[in-house]
Chains A and B, each alone.
Chain A
Amino acid sequence: MSTATASVSPGSARAARFVIYGLLLLFAFIYLLPFFVMLVTSLKPLAEIRSGNMLALPQSPSLDAWAKAWGTACIGVDCSGIKGYFWNSIRMVVPAVAISTILGALNGYVLTKWRFPGHKLVFGMMLFACFIPFQAVLIPMARVLGIIGLANTTSGLILVHVVYGLGFTTLFFRNYYEAFPDELIKAAQIDGAGFFRIFWRILLPSSGPIIVVTVIYQFTNIWNDFLFGVSFASGGGAPMTVALNNLVSSSTGVKEYNVDMAAAMFAALPTLIVYVVAGRYFVRGLMAGAVKG
C-alpha cells in the first residue's frame, strides 16, 4: 500500500518528500560506510592508513594488500595466506549445499505428496532442529567426529552442515510443494508412474525457483558459518571465516590493517556476488527462513 499525501498543501508535501529522501539517503550512507571503509583501507599502503583519514580515497590504489592476504600473510605459523582456507571453504560448501538440497527436496516431496500418519510430528521435529542453539550439540559432535576420524577435516564439516541444514531445506521444499496441485500427482499415478518418476518428471521440472532459493540460502549460511568451523576444524582444514578471525585477532608483529581488510573482502565477496546477482532469491530465502513462506 502507499499513502499519497493528497490532502495536504503542495508546499508541505514537497517538504515532506524532501525529509523522506533526506532520511533515506542518510541511512544509505551509513549502511554503505563500513563497507566503503573496508574497501578503501584494503587498497592503501600501511603508512597512508596510519597518517591519513579513514574515509579518504587511496592516493594510489594498489592491490598489494590483496596479494599479500591471498598468498603470503601469516595465519598462526603458516605464512601462505588465506588461499588454502578459501579453497577449504569451497570444498566444504559445494558438496554440503548439493547434498542438503537434494535431501530437502525429497523430504519435502514425501511430506506433502506421500503423507503418512505422523507426518506432522516428523516435520515439526525437523523444523525445530533448525532453531536449536548449536551449543547444545557441540560437545557430542566434537566427540563423534573424533571417534569416526573426521575431526579437523572438510568431510566432517560437510557432514555437520548437511545435518543442521536439513531442517531448512526440508522446510523450503515442503512449503513449495504444498501448493503444487495434488491432481497432477494423482493423474500420473493412474497412468502408472511411480514415486521417483513422479518426482523426476512432474515436480522437479517446476522446482526451479525453490531450488535457487534453497541453494543461495544454504550457500550463504554455510560459507558464513564460524562456530562449527572453529569448533571442529581449527587447524589447516579451517574454513575461510575461521582463518580470517585468526588473521585479524593475531597480535604478533605489526598490525597490517590493509591486509586484514583485504582478507575480509575475500571472505565477503562470494556471498556478496551471489547477493548482487540473485538478490531477489536471497530475500525470498531469508523470508522463508522466518518460517512463513
Chain B
Amino acid sequence: MTLTVDAVEPVRRKAGVLDRVRDILPKIVLAPSFALILFFVYGFILWTLYLSFTNSRILPIYEIVGFDAYINLWSQPNWYMALKNLAIFGTLYIGLCIAIGLLLAILLDQKIRGEGVLRPIFLYPMALSFVVTGTAWKWFLNPGLGLERTMQQWGFENFQFDWLTSTDMAIYCVVIAGVWQASGFVMAMFLAGLRGIDGEIIKAAQIDGASSFSIYRRIVIPLLRPAFLSAVIVLAHMAIKSYDLVIALTGGGPGNATELPSTFMYSYTFTRSQMAVGSASAIMMLMGITAIIVPYLYSELREPAR
C-alpha cells in the first residue's frame, strides 16, 4: 500500500502546482490591464479630488485647505456662464439630434430606393474629428465670406447671419455643428430599433384602420423606448465632454460667450494657473457624468442573459 501512495504522491503534487498555475493564469493576463485602469483612472480621479481640496496654482501643492477651491469655483461668473451654455447646448443638442435622427430614420424606413446611398451621407460626419467639423463650420458660417455673403450674392441682399461673431448667438453655432455631426448616429440607432420591431403588430393596426401617423405615435415610437434611452445617455455624455468642437469653432469666444465646463477646466488649469479651481471643476464634471452613466450601466449589466 505504501508503495502505491509514494508512487502517486509526486504526480499529484505536480498536478496541484499546474492546476494552480492554470487557475491564476487568466488573472495574470487580466492583471496588467486592470492595474492600468486602477492607477490611471481611479487613482488619478482621487489625485484630482485631492488637488481640488488644496490651494494649487501653477503647480500642485499638497497641503489641504478645505473647500476653498469649490467656493472659489462657484463664485466665478465664468463658471455660471459655462453651466448656462452647457444647459443651452446640451438641451438643444440632445433634443435636435433626437428629433432629426428620428425623422430621418422614419423617412428611411419607408422602403426607400437608394437607402444604401442616403444612409452613409447622414452618418459620415461622425467619422470626422471635431476639429475638422469645427474648422469646416467656422468657414461655412464666416459672416464675411461664408453663408451670409453667398445668400447676399444670390439676391437676398438683407440676409444676415453673423451668429459666429455674436456674443448672444455663438453658442447656437456650436449646437448647429454638433447636431450636424451626431444626428446621423442617432438616426442609425433609431433605424436599428425600427428594423427590430415586429411587422405583425403594425399590420394588425393597419387592418384596424389606424392611420400611419397614429401607428407611429401610438405603437412605433413607444416601442423605441430603449433606443431613446441609449441616445439620450450617449448624447448627454458627449455634450458634457465636448471640448474640441468649441475650441475649433469659436475658441470659447467671442469673449467667454461659448465657454463650457470642459473649456473652463482647461483654461483655469493650464493657462490661468488656478489648478485647484480647475480640479474642482473637473470633479463637478465627473459627478455630472457619473449621475447619468452609473444608473445606465447598472441597468444594462444587471440583465441576467444578454
Instruction: Please tell me which one of the listed residues A223, A272, A291 contacts residue B300 in the complex, with CB atoms under 8 A apart.
Output: A291
Quick one: CB contact mask for A1-36 with B, threshold 8 Å, 1 for yes? 111111100000000010011011001101111110
Instruction: Please tell me which one of the listed residues B44, B107, B145 contacts residue A136 in the complex, with CB atoms under 8 A apart.
Output: B44
A125 touching B109, Cβ below 8 Å: no
B297 touching A163, Cβ below 8 Å: no
Within 8 A of A (CB), among B95-153: 100, 103-104, 107-112, 118, 120-133, 135-140, 145-147, 149-150, 153
For B104, B120, B132, which residue has the most chain A Cβ atoms within 10 angstroms? B132
Quick one: CB contact mask for A251-293 with B, threshold 8 Å, 1 for yes? 0000001001100100110011011100100110011011111
B131 touching A245, Cβ below 8 Å: yes
Chain B nearest CB, measured from A129 CB (Å): 4
B51 touching A139, Cβ below 8 Å: yes
B130 touching A34, Cβ below 8 Å: no
Any B CB within 8 A of the CB of A132: yes
Determine, out of B28-36, B70-78, B156-164, the stretch whose residues face the partner at the interface: B28-36
A257 touching B139, Cβ below 8 Å: yes
B34 touching A139, Cβ below 8 Å: no
By the criterion of a CB under 8 Å from any partner CB, how many residues of chain B are at the interface?
A: 113
Any B CB within 8 A of the CB of A155: no
Within 8 A of B (CB), among A25-74: 27-28, 30-35, 37-38, 41, 49-50, 53-55
Q: Which residues of A contact B189 (CB under 8 A)?
A: 287, 290
Any A CB within 8 A of the CB of B16: no
Chain A nearest CB, measured from B190 CB (Å): 11
Bound complex: CA A127 to CA B42 (Å): 12
Within 8 A of A (CB), among B35-51: 36-38, 40-45, 47-48, 51
Any B CB within 8 A of the CB of A148: no
Chain A nearest CB, measured from B111 CB (Å): 5
Chain B nearest CB, measured from A95 CB (Å): 15
Q: Which residues of A contact B195 (CB under 8 A)?
A: 1
B30 touching A3, Cβ below 8 Å: no
A54 touching B197, Cβ below 8 Å: no
Given known contacts A195-B22, A287-B192, is B251 in contact with A249 (CB within 8 Å)?
yes
Within 8 A of A (CB), among B268-288: 269-270, 275, 278-279, 281-283, 285-286, 288
Within 8 A of A (CB), among B233-262: 233-234, 237, 240-241, 243-244, 247-248, 251, 261-262
Q: Which residues of A contact B216 (CB under 8 A)?
A: 3
Bound complex: CA A276 to CA B128 (Å): 12
A31 touching B132, Cβ below 8 Å: no
B60 touching A139, Cβ below 8 Å: yes
Chain B nearest CB, measured from A270 CB (Å): 10
**SS class of chain A's interface: helix, strand, loop or mixed?**
helix
For B127, B145, B153, B289, which residue has the most chain A Cβ atoms within 10 angstroms? B127
Quick one: CB contact mask for A127-142 with B, threshold 8 Å, 1 for yes? 1110111111111110
A107 touching B269, Cβ below 8 Å: no
Any B CB within 8 A of the CB of A186: no
Any A CB within 8 A of the CB of B26: yes
Any A CB within 8 A of the CB of B212: yes
Chain B nearest CB, measured from A27 CB (Å): 6
CB pairs A–B below 8 angstroms (6 shown): A24-B118, A28-B121, A139-B51, A141-B44, A261-B135, A279-B120
Q: Which residues of A contact B (CB under 8 A)?
A: 1-7, 17, 20-21, 23-24, 27-28, 30-35, 37-38, 41, 49-50, 53-55, 103, 106-107, 109-111, 114, 116, 120, 122-129, 131-141, 143, 162-164, 166-167, 170, 175, 178, 194-195, 220, 223-227, 230-231, 241, 244-245, 248-249, 257, 260-261, 264, 267-268, 271-272, 274-276, 279, 282-283, 286-287, 289-293
